[in-house]
């Protein structure tokens, strides 16, 4: 065979190979686009949550079905000081980012989120409550944070709810529990029933205030869903977003201990906590451009820095997943 004929033959083969490769690449591209369209249109993947949400059982099951993809790199807060973190899409409860988000840990005063939910469902916020709790004795015996209740004081349930969620008063938690259920132990049963109703299988309460006890635990993801449930109640959402409140007493103005409300633009709550066993804890919510996210940090050394880093990353690097 002549050299130039050999070149033409090889050239033809190379040309055929090039066209075959091009056809394969085009087919792959079409398949990828089709899968993306199907996923985001509800035909597969995350989009299925839109239809599946009508078939799910508990709120946790609905949230799990609505899990959406995370876009962009992991947050710088992947080195956060917290032992566990979760970033949740408030609109449906989808987990956008988590680290050890399903590990059972002590919640500290995040427990009061469940206390508020149960009390709100089972009492009238305008009802008068005859307080039996002595906050002075409570401080002396447990070192509790209190709103300053004394036996015989008459306050509304709304006043006590502000003392519970703003000041994080353990005295308010006990007063609420006794008013709603007669005893704190019966109230705790209602709290655990509420957790079960929400499908929170890794959450268990032993008291209404959050002081460390054996058997008191939750996870970063599940307590975020508790925070989401609280925010779904407009009156409770209004309480946790308030920076101060004047109760119907001669006592002092009640101030919100959640400094994130003033430190982060768009912050709307929810609750902070601390015990020696739990470390710093927070369930935080913030809004930007019509979107609301919930961040949980458990066992933190600096809950505000951790929460801010997670919010900044999530708002800048993720898209609504439901």
Extract the tokens encoding 91. Answer: 């609109």
Residue with tokens 């709550």: 269
Confirm whether 112 is a catalytic residue. yes
Q: Which of 123, 135, 144, 168 is catalytic?
A: 168
Nearest partner of 184 among 194, 172, 196, judged by Cα: 172
Dig out the tokens for 56 from the structure. 């799910």
Residue tagged active-site, from 112, 194, 271, 321: 112
Q: Which string of b and e fits 35-47 if b means at least 16 CB within 10 Å? A: eeeeeeeeeebbb
Q: How far apart are the first and last CA of the chain?
A: 66
**SS3 for 181?**
helix
168 is catalytic: yes
For the record, the structure tokens of 93 come out as 């409860």
Q: CA–CA separation, 118 vs 110, rounded Å?
A: 14
**CB neighbour list of residue 235: distance below 8 Å, 6 or more residues apart:** 120, 125
Catalytic center residues: 109, 112, 168
């Amino acid at each position: 065979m002549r050299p130039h004929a050999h070149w033409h033959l090889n050239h033809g083969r190379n040309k055929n190979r090039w066209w075959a490769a091009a056809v394969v690449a085009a087919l792959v591209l079409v398949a990828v686009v089709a899968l993306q369209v199907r996923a985001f249109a509800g035909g597969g993947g995350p989009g299925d949550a839109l239809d599946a949400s009508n078939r799910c059982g508990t709120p946790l099951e609905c949230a799990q079905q609505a899990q959406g993809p995370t876009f962009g790199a992991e947050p710088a807060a992947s080195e956060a000081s917290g032992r566990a973190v979760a970033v949740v899409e408030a609109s449906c409860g989808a987990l956008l980012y988590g680290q050890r988000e399903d590990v059972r840990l002590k919640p500290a005063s995040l427990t009061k989120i469940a206390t508020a939910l149960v009390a709100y469902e089972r009492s009238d916020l305008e009802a008068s409550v005859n307080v039996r709790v002595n906050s002075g004795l409570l401080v002396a015996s447990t070192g509790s944070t209190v709103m300053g209740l004394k036996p015989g004081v008459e306050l509304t349930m709304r006043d006590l709810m502000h003392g519970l969620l703003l000041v994080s008063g353990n005295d308010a938690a006990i007063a609420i529990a006794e008013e709603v259920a007669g005893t704190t132990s019966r109230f705790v049963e209602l709290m655990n029933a509420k957790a079960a109703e929400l499908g929170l299988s890794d959450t268990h309460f032993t008291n209404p205030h959050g002081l460390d006890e054996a058997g008191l635990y939750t996870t970063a993801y599940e307590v975020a869903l508790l925070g989401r449930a609280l925010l779904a109640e407009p009156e409770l959402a209004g309480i946790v977003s308030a920076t101060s409140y004047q109760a119907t007493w001669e006592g002092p103005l009640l101030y919100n201990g959640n400094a994130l409300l003033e430190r982060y633009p768009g912050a709307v709550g929810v609750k902070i906590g601390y015990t020696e066993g739990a470390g710093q804890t927070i369930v935080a919510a913030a809004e930007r451009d019509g979107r609301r996210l919930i961040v949980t940090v458990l066992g933190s050394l600096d809950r505000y820095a951790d929460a801010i880093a997670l919010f900044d990353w999530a708002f800048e690097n993720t898209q609504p997943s439901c």
